[in-house]
Amino acid sequence: MPKTGDDLFAFLAGLGIESSTTRHPPLFTVADSQALRGAIAGAHTRNLFLKDRKDNFFLVTVEEDAEVDLKQIHHLIGAAGRVSFGKPEMLMELLGVIPGAVTVLGLINDTQCRVKVVLDAGLMENDIINAHPLTNEATTSMRSADLLRFIEATGHVPVILKVAA
């Protein structure tokens, strides 16, 4: 069973990571979430759950308005050839979330570290980063340094690259 939001918050608290969470109606797209601008400070994320032809999985997290060249990103992230979007079944199996709720915080569910996490360098220049806490009905805000600590605590090695055009 995937972890719940409560499990996630307990994990963050156990790491001494301060975060704040704002509840809102379900958000399925970046356009939906842009209606909250001004209400939630910090950088808002867009997450791409990708796979290559050898079934390697990648979670690429960028700022919500960043442009990503999906035809060329495989060169940057170390994929075996071009990438495509991962299937919803694998998204649930690996990150414990549904399409529309993809989040870097889903790494808490990837206990075998099958997903390589790539954070855009531009995103990481922000002090506060916002992500869904395993549901698209809320947004959790934390410091970028704490996001890195969270990722490392899940056993993943965050790769910071300039992936946005």
Question: Does residue 116 have a pLDDT over 90?
Answer: yes
What pLDDT was estimated at residue 40? Answer: 81
pTM: 0.91
Q: What is the pLDDT of residues 123-161, one digit of tens each?
A: 999 999 999 999 989 999 999 999 999 999 999 999 999
Domain that holds residue 119: 5-161
Give the dihedral sign, CA 89/95/96/100.
Answer: negative
Q: Which of 19, 20, 44 is nearest to 32 (CA)?
A: 44
In the chain, the number of structural domains is: 1
Q: What is the mean pLDDT of residues 41-65?
A: 95
Domain of 63, CATH number, reads 3.90.960.10
